[in-house]
Amino acid sequence: MIKDKFADVVTPPPGEEADIGEINGILGFHIRLAHGACLRHFTETFTELDLTQKQVSVLWLVDDHPGIAQTDLAQRLRMDRATTMAIINRLQAKHYLRRDRSAEDGRKQALFLEPEGQAMLSRAKFAIGEHEAWVKRHFSDKEVKLLLELLARIHE
Amino acid sequence: MIKDKFADVVTPPPGEEADIGEINGILGFHIRLAHGACLRHFTETFTELDLTQKQVSVLWLVDDHPGIAQTDLAQRLRMDRATTMAIINRLQAKHYLRRDRSAEDGRKQALFLEPEGQAMLSRAKFAIGEHEAWVKRHFSDKEVKLLLELLARIHE
DNA sequence: GCGCAATTGTTAGTCAACCATACAAAACTA
DNA sequence: TAGTTTTGTATGGTTGACTAACAATTGCGC
Protein backbone atom coordinates (compact mmCIF):
# COMPACT_ATOMS: atom_id res chain seq x y z
CA MET A 1 0.00 0.00 0.00
CA ILE A 2 1.53 3.25 -1.12
CA LYS A 3 0.81 6.52 0.65
CA ASP A 4 0.40 9.59 -1.55
CA LYS A 5 3.39 11.54 -0.41
CA PHE A 6 2.40 14.70 1.35
CA ALA A 7 -1.33 14.57 0.80
CA ASP A 8 -2.40 14.95 4.39
CA VAL A 9 0.71 15.31 6.40
CA VAL A 10 0.51 15.75 10.17
CA THR A 11 -2.50 13.76 11.31
CA PRO A 12 -5.43 13.62 8.91
CA PRO A 13 -8.34 14.25 11.33
CA PRO A 14 -7.11 17.18 13.38
CA GLY A 15 -10.34 17.57 15.33
CA GLU A 16 -10.31 14.35 17.34
CA GLU A 17 -8.62 14.40 20.70
CA ALA A 18 -6.50 11.28 20.46
CA ASP A 19 -7.42 9.06 17.57
CA ILE A 20 -5.18 6.07 17.32
CA GLY A 21 -6.86 4.56 14.28
CA GLU A 22 -6.62 0.94 13.29
CA ILE A 23 -4.57 -0.11 16.29
CA ASN A 24 -7.55 0.77 18.45
CA GLY A 25 -9.11 -2.60 17.76
CA ILE A 26 -6.19 -4.55 19.18
CA LEU A 27 -7.02 -6.11 22.54
CA GLY A 28 -3.40 -6.37 23.63
CA PHE A 29 -2.99 -2.66 23.02
CA HIS A 30 -5.82 -1.82 25.38
CA ILE A 31 -4.49 -4.14 28.04
CA ARG A 32 -1.21 -2.25 27.81
CA LEU A 33 -2.95 1.12 28.07
CA ALA A 34 -5.11 0.04 30.98
CA HIS A 35 -2.06 -1.34 32.76
CA GLY A 36 -0.17 1.85 32.13
CA ALA A 37 -2.99 3.96 33.54
CA CYS A 38 -3.21 1.72 36.62
CA LEU A 39 0.53 1.82 37.12
CA ARG A 40 0.62 5.60 36.95
CA HIS A 41 -2.19 5.96 39.44
CA PHE A 42 -0.65 3.34 41.70
CA THR A 43 2.69 5.09 41.64
CA GLU A 44 1.02 8.37 42.54
CA THR A 45 -0.91 6.77 45.37
CA PHE A 46 2.24 5.15 46.74
CA THR A 47 4.71 8.01 46.44
CA GLU A 48 4.57 8.65 50.17
CA LEU A 49 4.94 5.01 51.08
CA ASP A 50 7.70 4.64 48.48
CA LEU A 51 6.57 1.21 47.35
CA THR A 52 6.07 -0.32 43.91
CA GLN A 53 3.35 -2.72 42.82
CA LYS A 54 5.72 -5.63 42.91
CA GLN A 55 6.99 -4.75 46.34
CA VAL A 56 3.47 -4.55 47.76
CA SER A 57 2.60 -7.86 46.15
CA VAL A 58 5.62 -9.47 47.76
CA LEU A 59 4.92 -8.04 51.21
CA TRP A 60 1.33 -9.18 50.93
CA LEU A 61 2.24 -12.70 49.88
CA VAL A 62 4.92 -13.09 52.54
CA ASP A 63 2.37 -12.01 55.10
CA ASP A 64 -0.15 -14.54 53.78
CA HIS A 65 2.47 -17.27 53.66
CA PRO A 66 5.07 -16.69 56.35
CA GLY A 67 8.21 -18.70 55.70
CA ILE A 68 7.59 -18.88 51.97
CA ALA A 69 10.64 -19.56 49.79
CA GLN A 70 11.78 -17.17 47.08
CA THR A 71 11.13 -19.64 44.31
CA ASP A 72 7.58 -20.23 45.49
CA LEU A 73 7.04 -16.51 45.66
CA ALA A 74 8.45 -16.08 42.18
CA GLN A 75 6.10 -18.69 40.72
CA ARG A 76 3.04 -17.15 42.28
CA LEU A 77 3.88 -13.70 40.95
CA ARG A 78 5.25 -14.94 37.62
CA MET A 79 8.73 -13.62 38.12
CA ASP A 80 12.08 -15.33 37.65
CA ARG A 81 14.56 -15.88 40.46
CA ALA A 82 16.85 -13.00 39.51
CA THR A 83 14.02 -10.48 39.49
CA THR A 84 12.71 -11.82 42.77
CA MET A 85 16.14 -11.44 44.30
CA ALA A 86 16.33 -7.78 43.38
CA ILE A 87 12.94 -7.07 44.91
CA ILE A 88 13.64 -9.02 48.09
CA ASN A 89 16.96 -7.24 48.43
CA ARG A 90 15.27 -3.85 48.29
CA LEU A 91 12.66 -4.85 50.83
CA GLN A 92 15.29 -6.30 53.11
CA ALA A 93 17.36 -3.13 52.84
CA LYS A 94 14.34 -1.27 54.20
CA HIS A 95 14.03 -3.85 56.99
CA TYR A 96 10.56 -4.84 55.85
CA LEU A 97 11.38 -8.54 55.78
CA ARG A 98 14.13 -10.96 56.65
CA ARG A 99 15.59 -14.16 55.22
CA ASP A 100 15.92 -17.14 57.49
CA ARG A 101 17.67 -20.24 56.31
CA SER A 102 14.98 -22.92 56.10
CA ALA A 103 15.31 -25.74 58.62
CA GLU A 104 13.97 -28.50 56.38
CA ASP A 105 15.73 -27.45 53.19
CA GLY A 106 19.10 -25.78 53.49
CA ARG A 107 18.83 -24.34 50.00
CA LYS A 108 15.72 -22.36 50.72
CA GLN A 109 15.37 -18.99 52.31
CA ALA A 110 12.31 -18.65 54.53
CA LEU A 111 10.87 -15.16 54.25
CA PHE A 112 9.21 -13.38 57.16
CA LEU A 113 7.89 -9.87 57.59
CA GLU A 114 9.63 -7.69 60.13
CA PRO A 115 7.44 -5.52 62.37
CA GLU A 116 8.23 -2.55 60.14
CA GLY A 117 7.08 -4.58 57.17
CA GLN A 118 3.86 -5.49 58.93
CA ALA A 119 3.16 -1.86 59.69
CA MET A 120 3.96 -0.79 56.17
CA LEU A 121 1.76 -3.51 54.74
CA SER A 122 -1.16 -2.28 56.79
CA ARG A 123 -0.71 1.20 55.41
CA ALA A 124 -0.24 -0.24 51.93
CA LYS A 125 -3.48 -2.18 52.12
CA PHE A 126 -5.28 1.00 53.03
CA ALA A 127 -3.73 2.77 50.05
CA ILE A 128 -4.63 -0.17 47.84
CA GLY A 129 -8.22 0.44 48.84
CA GLU A 130 -8.05 3.97 47.48
CA HIS A 131 -6.31 2.81 44.35
CA GLU A 132 -8.86 0.07 43.75
CA ALA A 133 -11.67 2.55 44.13
CA TRP A 134 -10.07 4.58 41.36
CA VAL A 135 -9.68 1.57 39.06
CA LYS A 136 -13.29 0.65 39.64
CA ARG A 137 -14.55 4.22 39.39
CA HIS A 138 -16.56 3.55 36.23
CA PHE A 139 -17.65 0.01 37.07
CA SER A 140 -20.57 -1.58 38.81
CA ASP A 141 -19.96 -4.53 41.12
CA LYS A 142 -21.21 -6.86 38.44
CA GLU A 143 -18.82 -5.41 35.88
CA VAL A 144 -15.90 -5.73 38.27
CA LYS A 145 -16.66 -9.37 38.77
CA LEU A 146 -16.96 -9.88 35.03
CA LEU A 147 -13.73 -8.06 34.27
CA LEU A 148 -11.93 -10.05 36.95
CA GLU A 149 -13.13 -13.27 35.41
CA LEU A 150 -12.11 -12.24 31.89
CA LEU A 151 -8.65 -11.09 32.94
CA ALA A 152 -8.06 -14.31 34.83
CA ARG A 153 -8.64 -16.26 31.63
CA ILE A 154 -5.74 -14.41 30.02
CA HIS A 155 -3.10 -15.02 32.65
CA GLU A 156 -4.06 -18.44 33.98
CA MET B 1 -3.76 -8.50 63.71
CA ILE B 2 -1.20 -10.83 65.26
CA LYS B 3 -0.12 -14.05 63.63
CA ASP B 4 0.42 -17.05 65.89
CA LYS B 5 4.11 -17.43 65.38
CA PHE B 6 4.97 -20.66 63.62
CA ALA B 7 1.55 -22.24 63.55
CA ASP B 8 1.38 -22.97 59.86
CA VAL B 9 4.65 -21.88 58.41
CA VAL B 10 5.36 -22.31 54.71
CA THR B 11 2.06 -21.93 52.89
CA PRO B 12 -1.01 -23.15 54.75
CA PRO B 13 -2.86 -24.95 51.95
CA PRO B 14 -0.12 -26.99 50.33
CA GLY B 15 -2.38 -28.68 47.82
CA GLU B 16 -3.33 -25.75 45.61
CA GLU B 17 -1.17 -24.98 42.61
CA ALA B 18 -0.68 -21.25 43.06
CA ASP B 19 -2.97 -19.78 45.65
CA ILE B 20 -2.40 -16.12 46.15
CA GLY B 21 -5.04 -15.65 48.80
CA GLU B 22 -6.65 -12.37 49.68
CA ILE B 23 -4.81 -10.39 47.04
CA ASN B 24 -6.68 -12.42 44.45
CA GLY B 25 -9.68 -10.14 44.74
CA ILE B 26 -7.74 -7.04 43.74
CA LEU B 27 -8.62 -5.87 40.24
CA GLY B 28 -5.38 -3.98 39.75
CA PHE B 29 -3.45 -7.12 40.56
CA HIS B 30 -5.19 -9.06 37.81
CA ILE B 31 -4.61 -6.28 35.31
CA ARG B 32 -0.93 -6.51 36.16
CA LEU B 33 -0.89 -10.29 35.75
CA ALA B 34 -2.81 -10.17 32.48
CA HIS B 35 -0.46 -7.52 31.17
CA GLY B 36 2.55 -9.55 32.25
CA ALA B 37 1.24 -12.62 30.47
CA CYS B 38 0.55 -10.62 27.31
CA LEU B 39 3.94 -9.01 27.43
CA ARG B 40 5.69 -12.35 27.76
CA HIS B 41 3.80 -13.84 24.85
CA PHE B 42 4.36 -10.73 22.77
CA THR B 43 8.07 -10.80 23.44
CA GLU B 44 8.23 -14.44 22.41
CA THR B 45 6.27 -13.76 19.24
CA PHE B 46 8.54 -10.86 18.34
CA THR B 47 11.96 -12.30 19.16
CA GLU B 48 12.74 -12.79 15.47
CA LEU B 49 11.57 -9.32 14.49
CA ASP B 50 13.39 -7.87 17.49
CA LEU B 51 10.66 -5.36 18.29
CA THR B 52 8.98 -4.38 21.54
CA GLN B 53 5.33 -3.50 22.10
CA LYS B 54 6.14 0.17 22.28
CA GLN B 55 8.20 0.11 19.13
CA VAL B 56 5.44 -1.59 17.16
CA SER B 57 2.90 0.90 18.46
CA VAL B 58 5.08 3.77 17.32
CA LEU B 59 5.69 2.32 13.86
CA TRP B 60 1.98 1.70 13.50
CA LEU B 61 1.01 5.22 14.50
CA VAL B 62 3.64 6.88 12.34
CA ASP B 63 2.31 4.87 9.43
CA ASP B 64 -1.25 5.94 10.19
CA HIS B 65 -0.21 9.57 10.65
CA PRO B 66 2.77 10.36 8.44
CA GLY B 67 4.51 13.53 9.56
CA ILE B 68 3.24 13.22 13.13
CA ALA B 69 5.22 15.10 15.78
CA GLN B 70 6.86 13.36 18.71
CA THR B 71 4.70 15.14 21.26
CA ASP B 72 1.52 14.15 19.47
CA LEU B 73 2.77 10.58 19.33
CA ALA B 74 3.59 10.68 23.01
CA GLN B 75 0.13 11.89 23.96
CA ARG B 76 -1.61 9.20 21.96
CA LEU B 77 0.48 6.46 23.53
CA ARG B 78 0.56 8.03 26.99
CA MET B 79 4.28 8.46 27.17
CA ASP B 80 6.34 11.48 28.14
CA ARG B 81 8.71 13.24 25.76
CA ALA B 82 11.87 11.72 27.16
CA THR B 83 10.58 8.16 26.84
CA THR B 84 9.38 8.86 23.32
CA MET B 85 12.83 10.15 22.42
CA ALA B 86 14.48 6.94 23.52
CA ILE B 87 12.10 4.82 21.47
CA ILE B 88 12.36 6.99 18.37
CA ASN B 89 16.13 6.94 18.66
CA ARG B 90 16.15 3.15 18.66
CA LEU B 91 13.85 2.96 15.65
CA GLN B 92 15.89 5.53 13.79
CA ALA B 93 19.09 3.64 14.55
CA LYS B 94 17.52 0.67 12.78
CA HIS B 95 16.56 2.94 9.87
CA TYR B 96 12.85 2.21 10.35
CA LEU B 97 11.90 5.89 10.42
CA ARG B 98 13.36 9.33 9.92
CA ARG B 99 12.93 12.78 11.46
CA ASP B 100 12.24 15.72 9.18
CA ARG B 101 12.13 19.22 10.56
CA SER B 102 8.54 20.38 10.23
CA ALA B 103 7.96 23.19 7.73
CA GLU B 104 5.15 24.92 9.62
CA ASP B 105 6.61 24.63 13.09
CA GLY B 106 10.36 24.71 13.46
CA ARG B 107 10.19 23.12 16.86
CA LYS B 108 8.52 19.96 15.67
CA GLN B 109 10.02 16.89 14.13
CA ALA B 110 7.89 15.28 11.43
CA LEU B 111 8.18 11.50 11.57
CA PHE B 112 8.02 9.28 8.50
CA LEU B 113 8.54 5.58 8.00
CA GLU B 114 11.47 4.53 5.88
CA PRO B 115 10.90 1.70 3.38
CA GLU B 116 12.57 -0.69 5.83
CA GLY B 117 10.14 0.45 8.49
CA GLN B 118 7.21 -0.09 6.16
CA ALA B 119 8.37 -3.61 5.44
CA MET B 120 8.95 -4.36 9.10
CA LEU B 121 5.55 -2.99 10.05
CA SER B 122 3.91 -5.32 7.57
CA ARG B 123 5.64 -8.29 9.15
CA ALA B 124 4.81 -6.93 12.60
CA LYS B 125 1.13 -6.64 11.80
CA PHE B 126 1.13 -10.25 10.73
CA ALA B 127 2.79 -11.25 14.00
CA ILE B 128 0.31 -9.13 15.90
CA GLY B 129 -2.40 -11.24 14.35
CA GLU B 130 -0.88 -14.36 15.88
CA HIS B 131 -0.41 -12.66 19.19
CA GLU B 132 -3.97 -11.37 19.27
CA ALA B 133 -5.27 -14.83 18.51
CA TRP B 134 -3.41 -16.03 21.60
CA VAL B 135 -4.79 -13.28 23.80
CA LYS B 136 -8.29 -14.05 22.61
CA ARG B 137 -7.85 -17.79 22.80
CA HIS B 138 -10.43 -18.23 25.55
CA PHE B 139 -12.83 -15.51 24.40
CA SER B 140 -15.82 -15.33 22.13
CA ASP B 141 -16.22 -12.32 19.85
CA LYS B 142 -18.80 -10.93 22.19
CA GLU B 143 -16.48 -11.25 25.17
CA VAL B 144 -13.65 -9.56 23.29
CA LYS B 145 -15.88 -6.62 22.53
CA LEU B 146 -17.00 -6.45 26.14
CA LEU B 147 -13.47 -6.65 27.50
CA LEU B 148 -12.33 -3.97 25.08
CA GLU B 149 -15.07 -1.68 26.30
CA LEU B 150 -14.31 -2.30 29.96
CA LEU B 151 -10.58 -1.73 29.53
CA ALA B 152 -11.18 1.49 27.65
CA ARG B 153 -13.09 2.83 30.64
CA ILE B 154 -9.99 2.42 32.76
CA HIS B 155 -7.53 4.25 30.58
CA GLU B 156 -9.69 6.92 29.01
C1' DG C 1 7.69 45.19 17.33
C1' DC C 2 9.43 43.57 21.83
C1' DG C 3 9.77 40.71 25.61
C1' DC C 4 8.03 36.98 28.18
C1' DA C 5 5.83 32.59 28.45
C1' DA C 6 4.75 28.17 26.44
C1' DT C 7 5.94 24.42 23.37
C1' DT C 8 9.09 21.03 21.44
C1' DG C 9 12.95 18.46 21.26
C1' DT C 10 17.08 17.02 23.44
C1' DT C 11 20.44 15.36 26.95
C1' DA C 12 21.65 13.36 31.26
C1' DG C 13 20.89 10.75 35.29
C1' DT C 14 18.19 7.68 38.28
C1' DC C 15 15.40 3.71 39.09
C1' DA C 16 12.50 -0.65 38.68
C1' DA C 17 11.83 -4.64 36.28
C1' DC C 18 13.14 -8.26 33.17
C1' DC C 19 16.18 -11.56 31.09
C1' DA C 20 20.26 -14.45 30.40
C1' DT C 21 24.21 -16.43 32.23
C1' DA C 22 27.21 -18.47 35.35
C1' DC C 23 28.37 -20.18 39.90
C1' DA C 24 28.00 -22.35 44.73
C1' DA C 25 25.61 -24.88 48.13
C1' DA C 26 22.26 -28.15 49.37
C1' DA C 27 19.18 -31.88 48.24
C1' DC C 28 17.80 -35.69 45.71
C1' DT C 29 18.58 -39.98 42.92
C1' DA C 30 20.36 -43.66 40.46
C1' DT D 1 29.17 -42.42 45.96
C1' DA D 2 28.62 -39.73 41.77
C1' DG D 3 25.81 -37.09 38.98
C1' DT D 4 21.70 -34.29 38.49
C1' DT D 5 18.36 -31.00 40.09
C1' DT D 6 16.92 -27.30 42.88
C1' DT D 7 17.69 -22.91 45.11
C1' DG D 8 19.78 -18.79 45.88
C1' DT D 9 23.25 -15.47 44.35
C1' DA D 10 26.08 -12.33 41.53
C1' DT D 11 26.67 -9.87 37.18
C1' DG D 12 25.63 -7.39 33.11
C1' DG D 13 22.60 -5.72 29.55
C1' DT D 14 18.03 -3.92 27.76
C1' DT D 15 13.73 -1.61 28.12
C1' DG D 16 10.85 1.73 29.90
C1' DA D 17 9.54 5.61 33.03
C1' DC D 18 10.50 9.77 35.43
C1' DT D 19 12.92 14.23 36.60
C1' DA D 20 15.55 18.17 35.71
C1' DA D 21 17.82 21.13 32.95
C1' DC D 22 18.71 23.46 28.49
C1' DA D 23 18.21 25.43 23.58
C1' DA D 24 15.46 26.60 19.76
C1' DT D 25 11.13 28.04 18.15
C1' DT D 26 6.65 29.80 18.45
C1' DG D 27 2.90 32.56 20.26
C1' DC D 28 0.88 36.03 23.12
C1' DG D 29 0.27 40.39 25.70
C1' DC D 30 1.55 44.86 25.88
Mean pLDDT within A2-14: 36
**Average pLDDT over all residues of chain A:** 87
pLDDT digits (tens, 9 = 90+) for A30-60: 999 999 999 999 999 999 999 999 999 999 9
How high is the pLDDT of residue B6?
34
Q: Tens digits of per-residue pLDDT, B67-122?
A: 999 999 999 999 999 999 999 999 999 999 999 988 888 899 999 999 999 999 99
Q: Which residue has the higher pLDDT, B22 or B68?
A: B68
Residue B57 has pLDDT above 50, yes or no: yes
Closest CA to A36 of B60, B156, B87: B156
DSSP state of B47: T
Average pLDDT estimate for B45-51 = 95
Asked whether the predicted pLDDT for residue A95 surpasses 80, the reply is: yes
Query: Which residues surround strand D, with CB < 7 Å?
Result: A 36, 40, 43, 69-71, 74, 81-82, 85, 88-89, 99, 105, 107-109; B 52-55, 79-83, 86-87, 90, 105-107
Nearest CA in chain A to B8: A66
Using the predicted structure, report yes or no on whether residue A21 has a pLDDT greater than 80.
no
Residues B28, A132: C-beta atoms closer than 8 Å:
yes
Q: Is the pLDDT of residue A2 over 80?
A: no
Alpha-helical runs (H) found in chain B: 27-45, 53-64, 70-77, 81-93, 115-135, 141-155
Q: Is the pLDDT of residue B21 over 80?
A: no
Q: Once rounded to an integer, what is the mean pLDDT over residues A132-149?
A: 94
So what's the pLDDT on residue B28?
Answer: 95
Q: Indicate the CATH number of B53-121 among 1.20.1430.10, 3.40.1170.60, 1.10.10.10, 1.10.730.10.
A: 1.10.10.10
- Mutation pick from B5, B26, B53 vs chain A, by most beta carbons of A within 10 Å, is B26
Interchain pair A128, B18: CB under 8 A: no
Residue A152 burial by Cβ neighbours in a 10 Å radius (0-12, 13-18, 19+):
middle
- Which one has a higher pLDDT value, A2 or A131? A131
Residue A41, burial from CB neighbour count under 10 angstroms (0-12, 13-18, 19+): middle
Written as one string, the DSSP assignment of A72-106 is HHHHHHT--HHHHHHHHHHHHHTTSEEEEE-SS-T
